[in-house]
Amino acid sequence: MALYAIGDLHLGFSSDKPMDVFGENWTDHYKKIKADWLAKVAPEDTVVIPGDISWAMSFEAAKVDLDWIEALPGRKILFKGNHDYWWTSKRKMADRYQTLTFVHNDFAAYEDYAICGTRGWLCPNEVQFTPDDARIYRREGIRLENSILMAKSAGYTRFLGVLHYPPTNERKEPSVFTDTFEKFGIASVIYGHVHSEQNYRYALNGNFGGVTYRLTSCDYLDFKLFKWL
């Protein structure tokens, strides 16, 4: 059973929100994702989606996008992104779908791994970091640690990490997120949120403090799934 990841699907079947502001490569991007997904993913495989799944503003409006993901092969583990305004109670979401696992203030299991994470937030930086940003940043740090502690309490000893936001600022300085991943010995972390060639250079990829990080926004991956394990 393989584990894949791809983030920032930005589906908009009900909202008609174009993504080509980020480049012509976004034209019909969902068709590219689907083609690669069908070529790679078997029913017994798992795909992690680290946020920014749908442009919809309500759960009912997101149904067409979530149905599209549900129809693809494999189990899907979904984390919330900053644009996922449709996100509602886990019970309501879980009751609707058979192959979608929604992670929020908890963790998901994959074989003998616990997949732990949270949305994340802007890391402290010199461009824009308000007192409100600082509050959310601290809260998201607590949520990340709580996710890992819940998995540890459940008996897990192997962990993978997920954020939506990058784990560092543009200067790639340590953060509450990188400190937490290092503290608990998380082997590998994926995240999304970063788009366009001009911003990729600020993204953390590779080893940092003994943890391997990978940007998995779909345009960075050329709309192809990343094989995580």
pLDDT tens per residue, range 136-157: 999 999 999 999 999 999 999 9
Query: Comparing 23-27, 67-71, 153-157, which segment has the lowest mean pLDDT?
Result: 23-27
Which pLDDT does position 103 carry in this prediction? 97
Number of folded domains that form the chain? 1
Tens of pLDDT along 181-211? Answer: 999 999 999 999 999 888 999 999 999 999 9
Q: What is the mean pLDDT of residues 173-187?
A: 97
The answer to whether residue 18 scores a pLDDT higher than 80 is no
Helix then strand then coil, in percent of the chain rounded to 5, is 30, 20, 45
Give the span between the Cα atoms of 157 and 38, in whole angstroms: 32
Q: Residue 195: which residues within 8 A CB-CB, separation 6 or more? A: 8, 22, 217, 219, 220
pTM for the model stands at 0.96
Q: Domain of 142? A: 3-227
Percent of the chain with pLDDT over 90: 91
> 117 has which bridge partners?
162
